[in-house]
Chain A
Amino acid sequence: MALPGSVIKQLARIVGDQHVVHSPNDLRIFERDGSITGAVPEAIVLPANRDEVVEVVKLAAKNRIPIVPRGAGTGLSGGAITVRGGIALQLTRMRRIVEIDPIARTATVEPGVVNADLQHAVGRQGLFYAPDPSSQKACTIGGNAAENSGGPHCLYYGVTTNHVIGLEVVFADGSVAWLGGDAPDRVGLDLLGVMVGSEGTLGTITRIKVKLLRLPEAVVTLMAAFPTVDTASHAVSDVIGHGIVPAALEMMDRVTIGAVEAHYRAGYPVDAGAVLLVEVDGLRESCNELAGAIERILHTNEATGLRIAADAEERELLWAGRKGAIGALGRIRPNYYLHDGVVPRTRLPDVLRRVTEIGDHYRLPVANVFHAGDGNLHPNILFDLRDDGVMDQVEKAGEEMLYAVVELGGTLSGEHGIGIEKNAFMPWIYGPDDLDAMLRVKQVFDPTGQLNPGKIFPDPDREPATLRARAGFCSEAQWW
């Protein structure tokens, strides 16, 4: 597929020659994101500002060309993949932090601003932006808003949608609007809330206003080892059952611990069945009391080798291990498929047992590293792409794990999005009437279906998922 030369010329006129990529070789660079599939776009366009986005979107609307907004391409559900061809609208040139208001505690940024860069900028003013995806060194705030990203500290602080107060959006027809704003209540429907997490299928985000929080006075990070994932899961439930919601509550299993320790030397106990990383923050008094209480609860749950980070450096190292865990897994197998599902917290032991069984069945190593406090699991299926037919096995295993999540009352994604990875599974959790309501919204904002087509909703043109025969099992009765 290739766009007509006349369209390429017009695109070049809008954003400048050097900001339109259309040679077949160069296009391949943008074939992938962080997911396991890919598709080559017909053109890559890198606008410098909102007005250029508007012109590109209008041109695309006129010529019926799909538009796929793209940030850093770290997404794990294929949200940035141009499955129906068209223009990959690369927003990383729009990377200005427009304003930081330390009094109102807000920041306004362009979509290409990297999450960690915003953190550094606001950190200098004693503030922080709460959502902290593990890819925060690369992923962009625009992508975070489009996917409603999470992160370890979302347990206490909430996910992206709880921190975005305003969005500037370019709609499918090229019109522009601000959604939300500084005032706490708006008149009219909460379009802001619908736009966050809509994966670029309802509009293109060109500016984001976020809430900032004051850095806590104190932070205490604990690490504890457990004989098994089961005992660690019970400890998680027990901490929260005591009325303590830590800032973060993360788990790593034995496979992950081994890889992380070999790579980071963070002092993780390699003989443990599971490790919990617990962080509390707030006043010094609160931290001491809570850390003490948590320590006691963990001990009654068979914790061994409990350690409290002595200083910021040690804390950073513990977190570096957690946030870099996925990369470290490359020591075990060169490729991974990182899944994302959420179960009610108390079902964690059940679902992890199923995950292990499924991995064993397909003879694939599985590493678990995840947000235990939220019940948000991330089984990592490890493999070597050079092994014959392995991809098929990997996908089947992933699908079965996801199905187990749904069977236990969970959902398809907690923070990675649906994209093209899980759209075929949507009928597992939503009935026809539920999906119909969502499609009405899509139809209003994108009647010609040009915005990130082929995402979120089951696609009749794509091969049905293997387990799709079971679709519809999760009727509303299951939910309600």
Chain B
Amino acid sequence: MVVDGLVPVRVEKPSTAEEVAGLLRAAAEAGEAIVPVGGGRALGFGNPLERFDVALEMLGLNRVIEMSQGDMTVSVEAGVTVEELNAELAKVGQFVPIDPFNAPGHTVGGVLAAGLSGPLRMRYGSPREFVIGLRVALPDGRLASSGGRVVKNVSGYDLNKLHQGALGSMGVIVAASFKVFPRPLHEVTLEARTRDGWTEAARALELPMPPVALELTSDGRLLVRLAGTRDAVRRMARELGWPEAPDEVWSEHSRRGGRVWARVSVPPGKLREVVETFGERATWWASPGVGVAHWVGDIDAEGVQLARAAAERTGGTLVLIAASVDLKRQVGTWGSPPATLPWMLRLRDAFDPKRTLSPGRYLS
């Protein structure tokens, strides 16, 4: 296992939350750097690691802890993959709308820590909106839970939010609970090929019942997923007038990714102008309704800087989900630090004072 050109001294394969906590504590006491690894689908995300002593392979935490069909909640260990989770839920007509790119194989813990989302964010929001509980192992060996297994909860601070997208810098997620959703009564996928994708996308977004997912690609494809009651879906499909496409287009779409991979997140109304800075021959796909675009392939430092400047001017960001160590060193993964960085660093120091967790990767 190589991350950012570094090879760990050893690989640990815990199978319980307590083991994870114990390994973190041991690493902290020994002054070692420990890096959790889930499905390995986003290992290149983040600035180059400063040190790498222990790889913490999380796939052994693979239990579905509790699934309650009537309550529409599910709790799983972090090493369960998104596909395994949704296969379980499918048995009772439910699902969790987590659909990251570079699929399949993401673990639940990995996708939450990396803060990844996909096309369904259009309707359901990112996992932030439906994670109802987390259990996290901390470098001092404690296991801290936040939230619970109910769908509505304001008891104490919402630390579920603190760990999502923190790339493991505040602790290692060992289990998560979700509010789940019923499979839509009726669904249809439409696909259009058009020269003016942005205008067509805008039209789809203004439908009285907007699509649950809408994706535009650099080769002029528009994918739309409509969901709801049969008659409602039919009416929207008629209004759009695009031909139907097989459901498989979504699993194909979800396999997209790249060895060099940038993600732009901007206010939706600004997405087009930022994507245009990628250049005419760039390969990208975007969720115009959300304000996210993914750019892969032939990306150099100059290109990143140009697009990043455009994204940051809108109040948005460009981050490198994957890149060579060289490129990451040249332009950085994250771009300009937020004004609140001092607060974030103080929080990190309160949770990881010895810089045990993936040092260098996230906040600096």
Q: Which residues of A are in contact with B by a Cβ distance under 8 Å?
A: 103-104, 147-148, 150, 154, 158-159, 161-162, 171, 177-179, 181-194, 196-198, 202, 214, 217, 237, 240-245, 282-283, 285-286, 288-290, 342-347, 371, 374-376, 409-418, 422, 426, 429-431, 433-438, 440-445, 456, 476, 479-480
Q: Is B361 on the interface with A (CB-CB < 8 A)?
A: no
Of the candidate stretches B29-37, B175-183, B212-220, B254-262, the one touching chain A is B175-183
Q: Is B246 on the interface with A (CB-CB < 8 A)?
A: no
C-alpha gap A380/B319 in the complex (Å): 50
A429 to chain B: closest residue by CB: B155
CB-CB under 8 A for A286 and B263, given A438-B159, A444-B346: no
How many residues on B have C-beta within 8 angstroms of the other chain's C-beta atoms? 90
C-alpha gap A159/B160 in the complex (Å): 15
Instruction: Select one of A188, A196, A245, A413 contacting B344, CB under 8 A.
Output: A188
Would you list the 9 A-B pairs with minimal beta carbon distance, nearest first? Answer: A193-B161, A243-B182, A185-B265, A183-B316, A285-B231, A437-B144, A344-B71, A182-B267, A414-B152
C-alpha gap A83/B163 in the complex (Å): 32
Instruction: Select one of B125, B149, B155 contacting A344, CB under 8 A.
Output: B149
Q: Say yes or no: A345 contacts B129, CB within 8 Å.
A: no
Instruction: Select one of A184, A237, A282, A456 contacting B126, CB under 8 A.
Output: A184
Instruction: Select one of A194, A286, A415 contacting B232, CB under 8 A.
Output: A286
> Chain B's nearest CB lies how many Å from the CB of A101?
9
Extra contacts, 13 of them, besides A185-B265, A286-B209, A346-B68 (Cβ < 8 A), are: A183-B317, A186-B165, A188-B341, A193-B161, A197-B158, A285-B232, A414-B150, A433-B138, A441-B347, A442-B157, A456-B156, A480-B75, A480-B175
Instruction: Select one of B73, B161, B235 contacting A194, CB under 8 A.
Output: B161
> Chain B's nearest CB lies how many Å from the CB of A185?
4
C-alpha gap A345/B125 in the complex (Å): 23
CB-CB under 8 A for A440 and B351, given A190-B128, A416-B154: yes
Q: Mark B343-362, 1 if CB is under 8 A from A, else 0.
A: 11011101100000000000
CB-CB under 8 A for A342 and B70, given A181-B315, A426-B156: no
Instruction: Select one of B142, B155, B156, B231 contacting A433, CB under 8 A.
Output: B142
Residues of chain B contacted by A188 (CB below 8 angstroms): 334, 337-338, 340-341, 344, 363
Residues of chain A contacted by B316 (CB below 8 angstroms): 182-183
Q: Say yes or no: B315 contacts A159, CB within 8 Å.
A: no
CB-CB under 8 A for A162 and B125, given A186-B338, A430-B156, A438-B157: yes
Q: Say yes or no: B232 contacts A437, CB within 8 Å.
A: no
Q: Say yes or no: A436 contacts B340, CB within 8 Å.
A: no
Q: Is B251 on the interface with A (CB-CB < 8 A)?
A: no
CB-CB under 8 A for A183 and B267, given A431-B145, A437-B144, A480-B175: yes
Residues of chain B contacted by A414 (CB below 8 angstroms): 150, 152-154
Q: Say yes or no: B135 contacts A476, CB within 8 Å.
A: yes
> Chain B's nearest CB lies how many Å from the CB of A331?
29
Residues of chain B contacted by A179 (CB below 8 angstroms): 340
CB-CB under 8 A for A150 and B142, given A179-B340, A183-B315: no
Q: Say yes or no: A187 contacts B159, CB within 8 Å.
A: no
Q: Say yes or no: B317 contacts A185, CB within 8 Å.
A: yes
Q: Is B148 on the interface with A (CB-CB < 8 A)?
A: yes
Pull 9 A–B residue pairs with CB atoms less than 8 Å apart, ordered by A: A104-B268, A185-B292, A187-B335, A189-B170, A282-B232, A289-B230, A441-B347, A444-B343, A476-B145
Instruction: Select one of A150, A171, A192, A194 contacting B152, CB under 8 A.
Output: A150
Q: Say yes or no: B340 contacts A342, CB within 8 Å.
A: no
Q: Is B146 on the interface with A (CB-CB < 8 A)?
A: yes
Q: Say yes or no: A241 contacts B70, CB within 8 Å.
A: yes
Instruction: Select one of A184, A217, A243 contacting B183, CB under 8 A.
Output: A243
Q: Say yes or no: B150 contacts A342, CB within 8 Å.
A: yes
A189 to chain B: closest residue by CB: B344
Q: Is B72 on the interface with A (CB-CB < 8 A)?
A: yes
Q: Say yes or no: A187 contacts B317, CB within 8 Å.
A: yes
Q: Say yes or no: A434 contacts B145, CB within 8 Å.
A: yes
Q: Say yes or no: B128 contacts A193, CB within 8 Å.
A: yes
> Chain B's nearest CB lies how many Å from the CB of A183?
4
Q: Is B40 on the interface with A (CB-CB < 8 A)?
A: no
Q: Say yes or no: B150 contacts A343, CB within 8 Å.
A: yes
C-alpha gap A158/B73 in the complex (Å): 15
Q: Is B106 on the interface with A (CB-CB < 8 A)?
A: no
